Amino acid sequence: MAAVSIKNLSKRYPGAEALAVDSVSLEVAHGEFMVLLGPSGCGKSTTLRMVAGLESISGGELAIDGKRVNDVPAKDRDIAMVFQSYALYPHMSVYDNLAFGLRRRDFAAAEIERRVREVASTLGLGELLKRKPHALSGGQRQRVALGRAIVRDPKVFLFDEPLSNLDAALRVGMRGELIKLHHRLGATMIYVTHDQVEAMTMGDRICIMNGGKVVQIGAPLEVYRRPADTFVASFLGSPPTNLIPSRFNSDALHVGEARLPMQRSSVENPIFGIRPEDIRIHSGIDSGAPHAHGEVLAVEPLGAETLLRVRLAGVAGDVMVRGPRSVAAKVGDRVPLAYDLASAHLFDPATQKRI
């Protein structure tokens, strides 16, 4: 295991005006599973590749296990990387793919045999050691790619969207395998993904990036419940947070035609943010009056829950509501809605930051 320290790390490609990675700072503790999350082009994979030594560093400092490694070749950093494309040798058997890195490092034959057999048993590859990659399923190939990294027993594991080529069912299964693997190995892992479900379910902490910069770092539920700005609020969560222009008048916040008893902020016209699950359909037994009424534009039954797309009077754009599977609303119905104001946020429209 090893800690990874990233301080003001930057990357500028030749001829580019903007930095691909702009002063990223991040501390990954011993044994931590850190997820770099963000949209395509946000700099997360470039950051990972700089940690791996596959990209040169334009500025800042990178340390692994307390040692500065800015100019250390990738082969000498004691890291292992799992790629999106698996990167298996097609002419080699599973056994030889797993053993290749150890042979290159002149490990004894008995030690190679022990490690390969142990990893194959851990990943359920014992019956597949004689097969070549073309005879494996996508999930099996991904397990071989994982095994090739594990067999080296590196200080740090790096994952660059390793599950994105798998179908939905395999992704769920492999996600669970990776979580169990992390607990079993207790290893330091940095995992890049654009999939928020992977980030929420796998990471000890999430580092959300946008435009080459770090936007927010924290435990998954902390980031989900207290987004730093409108980007995090809208990116993390499906459906995303509803972001609605609002205005303070007297002692209340007006969201469309709704009057909400919220403490006045320093911003006169903030953005009101509330997640779909924090809006409920008001029932007759609820205390108090509903905050708003919405016209149902679409109903999306998902089995365990139902999503409603509604139009609120005085609000531009649709609002998403997540309700229980028992919701019986139909398109065209007018439904009373109540907001969980304790879970709502206000954002500054000028800076987009949470107030």
pLDDT, tens digit (0-9, with 9 covering 90-100), for 205-257: 999 999 999 999 999 999 999 999 999 999 998 899 999 999 998 779 999 98
Check: CB of residue 245 under 8 Å from CB of residue 312: no
Domains parsed from the chain with CATH numbers: 4-227 (3.40.50.300), 242-347 (2.40.50.140)
Q: CA angle 48-51-54, nearest 5°? A: 85
pLDDT, tens digit (0-9, with 9 covering 90-100), for 131-182: 999 999 888 888 898 888 888 889 999 999 988 877 887 788 888 888 988 8
Q: Structure pTM?
A: 0.89
Beta strands in 188-278 (DSSP E): 188-193, 205-210, 213-218, 242-245, 247-249, 252-255, 258-260, 271-274
CA–CA gap between residue 165 and residue 174 (Å, rounded): 12
Check: CB of residue 128 under 8 Å from CB of residue 139: no
Q: How far is CA 274 from CA 46, 282, 345, in A?
A: 33, 16, 6
Which residue, among 52, 48, 46, has the nearest Cα to 69 in the 3D structure?
A: 52
Lowest mean pLDDT, pick from 62-66, 136-140, 211-215, 343-347: 136-140
pLDDT, tens digit (0-9, with 9 covering 90-100), for 6-54: 999 999 999 988 999 999 999 999 999 999 999 999 999 999 999 999 9
Residue range 252-279: average pLDDT?
92
